[in-house]
Amino acid sequence: MTITYLKRGKSEADRAEDDAKVRETVEATLRDIADRGDAAVRDLSQKFDGYARPSFLLTASEIEAAMSRVSTRDMEDIRFAQTQIRRFAEAQRASMTDIEVETLPGVFLGHRNIPVQSVGCYVPGGKFPMVASAHMSVLTAQVAGVPRIVAAAPPVKGEPHPAIVAAMQLGGAHEIYVLGGMQAVGAMALGTETLKPVDMLVGPGNAYVAEAKRQLYGRVGIDLFAGPTETMVIADDTVDAELCATDLLGQAEHGYNSPAVLLTTSRKLAEATLLEVDRLLTILPTAATASVSWRDYGEVIVCDTHDEMLAVANDIASEHVQVMTDRDDWYLENMHSYGALFLGPRTNVANGDKVIGTNHTLPTKKAGRYTGGLWVGKFLKTHSYQRITTDAAAAMIGEYGSRLCLLEGFVGHAEQCNIRVRRYGGRNVGYGTAAE
């Protein structure tokens, strides 16, 4: 078994040091918002975005004005994308059914899928206005039936971004705030004098937004840790270097710390891709960003076999995994840790990011080992219930419950069962003793 790194990114120690700096900044920021509320939010917005106003909540007339600035073509494209995303989300919602089953005569067990009552949807917009993130969070929450959907995005060039506002409004947002970064996430979760806190936070963001969500988890629910974009290309000699390099840089341009990994069984392809990345960086308009990500976080790994590539891919657990091999379905069947798969050369990560219909808010930093991405089910809580409808069932289950509670030493628990055995079974069970 031979695994060769032709290029490595930053070490785990260096990445951990970066994470520690982010963590300290976020802790101080959230503490400030908790202590000073709206005043802190306003100061932070002025500091990071150069933007402050009496209220960050957009009025109906401001929403209408922003939407009027979106071109007809752009509006048509937004509606098309939302149609695809809604179609898939509705199919996912239909797969989740309430159930009730009679497990014993007179004993009924069931569960109901109940929407979270309020969510805060963060839409990034600092370096790039992430219009699609509004579809992925706001619209999906609307399909799930969430009754209060709060959406926030930073100002772009000193004002609300028209297309983001349009996507939020069309997706079903009830409140739209022009607020970015840690201050938006903190305000939605902690609440301020003018913003009622939400029950759950969703949406991608930079390292600071992801860390804020991590620190706020428990006080509110979160979808997942969706930090800086990650991409992996798994390829063999069925594809060429131009395709691989294009797909790597297409995600590396997100930010300065976006890992991009090529995993291949072809050393020839690996070496050609390294050269092609260098060539594309001379013509890519976003090269100033993409080149830093590639320099610090890009990796090229050559394996001897597909089994080795599978093992490495599952260990890295990348957010996006583009598979272009002679056995794409084999990877679909055998990969278990990732955000989303993009199978074959005809599709690509950008399709998933913007329009094809699957959700683009996906797990990063190896979180794909234990969770999938944002989907309609994340906005639903599955709550169980039980019902006993006959005296005989109440007495029979109570007898078992009584003995099992006392097995663990819980006398008060046992008496909850015993009183039912006495009342519905007509049995004289001594206080604190096991029903026989």
**Per-domain residue ranges for the chain?**
29-223+377-382, 228-371, 390-435
What is the residue-averaged pLDDT of the chain? Answer: 95
pLDDT at residue 2 tops 90: no
Distance CA(295)–CA(420), nearest Å, equals 69
Distance CA(149)–CA(40), nearest Å, equals 23
- Amino acid 284 reads L
Residue 413 assigned ligand-binding role: yes
The arithmetic mean of pLDDT across residues 125-142, rounded, is 92
Distance CA(269)–CA(262), nearest Å, equals 10
Quick one: DSSP state of residue 240? -
pLDDT (tens digit per residue) in 266-301: 999 999 999 999 999 999 999 999 999 999 999 999
Residue 353 assigned ligand-binding role: yes
Residue 183 assigned ligand-binding role: yes
Residue 98 assigned ligand-binding role: no
Residue 120 C-alpha from the chain's centroid: 13
- Amino acid 291 reads S
Please choose, from the candidates 258, 260, 266, 259, the residue with its C-alpha nearest in 3D space to the C-alpha of residue 235: 266
Domain 228-371: which CATH number of 3.40.50.1980, 3.55.40.20, 3.40.50.720, 3.30.1330.30: 3.40.50.1980
Cα dihedral sign, 392-397-400-403: negative
pLDDT (tens digit per residue) in 246-275: 999 999 998 888 999 999 999 999 999 999
The arithmetic mean of pLDDT across residues 204-229, rounded, is 90
Residues labelled catalytic: 319-320
Determine which of 14-28, 239-253, 308-322 has the lowest per-residue pLDDT on average.
14-28
pLDDT at residue 1 tops 70: no
The H or E element spanning position 48 is helix 38-49
Query: Given pLDDT bands bounded at 50, 70 and 90, which one contains residue 15?
Result: confident
Residue 122 assigned ligand-binding role: yes
Cα dihedral sign, 68-70-72-75: negative
Residue 374, SS3 per DSSP: coil
> Residue 189, CB half-sphere, CA atoms under 13 Å: how many?
27
pLDDT (tens digit per residue) in 86-133: 999 999 999 999 999 999 999 999 999 999 999 999 999 877 889 999
- CATH fourth-level superfamily of 29-223+377-382: Nitrogenase molybdenum iron protein domain (3.40.50.1980)
Q: Judge contact between 145 and 381, C-beta under 8 A.
A: no
- The pLDDT assigned to 17 comes to 75
Who contacts 299 (Cβ-Cβ below 8 Å, separation ≥6)? 5, 7, 8, 9, 259, 260, 261, 262
Residue 229 assigned ligand-binding role: yes
